Amino acid sequence: MNLLLAPPVFDDLLRLLRAWRLWLSGALLGGLLGLGVYALFPPEYRARATVMVDFNVEQSWTELPDREVFYYLDREARKLVELAWSDETLRAVAAQTGVEMTLLRSGTLTLSQPSDGGWHFYADSADPVLAARLAAGWAQAFTATAARSADEFTPYLVITPTQIENLPVERAVSRGTYALAGAGLLTAFFAISVLFFPAFRAFV
C-alpha cells in the first residue's frame, strides 16, 4: 500500500513538468472523449428571447436622492423577477405550450437580466422548436402580466419585447466546452496518477 500511494518527491514534480508527451496525450485523448460524450449524450437545445426593461432613471432622478437610486433600481428589478416567476405568468406559458408549471420551474426556464436593459428569457428542451416556443411564450407572458400590474411599479417603467420571433436556438453547452472539459479532466487524472502511483511514473 505504501508503494502504491508513495508520495511524490521533488524529482517527480520536475519530471512531471517536463513530460510534455503526457500533457499532450491527456489533452488529445480527453478532448476526443469529451466529443464522444457530446455525440452520444448531447445537451438540450436552448432558445433565448429578449425583453427591454427601461426604468427611465433619468426621469425619476429628480424625485430621488442619488444614494437612493441604487435601492430604487434593485427594488423594482426584484419585483419584476418575482413577476416573471409568478403563477400568473407561468400559467400562461403552460397553457400556450402544454408544458406543466412544475417542469417550467425545475430548470426548463432560466432568467438572466441586468437591473436596467435587456432581460433574457432562456428555455431548454430536447426539441428546438419547443425551446423557441417556451422562450417566446415566457417573454410575452411576462410583458402581458407586467402591463396588467403596471400600478405596482414606477410610472416611468417601460417594458418592450425586442426579440420574440426567429429566436436563436443552440445547444445549451457547446461541443468545445465538452472537449475542453474532457481534456482538462484526463490531463489532471494523468498528473495525479503519475505523482501518487509509482507504477505510472514509467510513462513519464
pLDDT of residue 5: 52
Question: What is the reported pTM?
Answer: 0.78
How confident is the prediction for the chain on average, in pLDDT? 84
Whether residue 64 is predicted with pLDDT greater than 80 in this model: the reply is no
From 63-77, 117-131, 166-180, the region with the lowest mean pLDDT = 63-77
For residue 157, the model assigns a pLDDT of 87
Which residue spans of the chain are classified as CATH 3.30.70? 45-171
Q: What is the pLDDT of residue 177?
A: 92
The string of pLDDT tens digits covering residues 123-163 is: 999 999 999 999 999 999 999 999 998 888 878 889 999 99
Q: What is the mean pLDDT of residues 81-85?
A: 95
- C-alpha cell at position 173: 453547452
**Predicted confidence band at 73 (pLDDT cuts at 50, 70, 90)?**
confident
- What pLDDT shows up at residue 105? 94
Mean pLDDT is lowest, of 102-106, 123-127, 188-192, for 188-192
User: Does the domain formed by 45-171 have CATH 3.40.640?
Assistant: no
Q: Which pLDDT band holds residue 187 (cuts at 50, 70, 90)?
A: confident
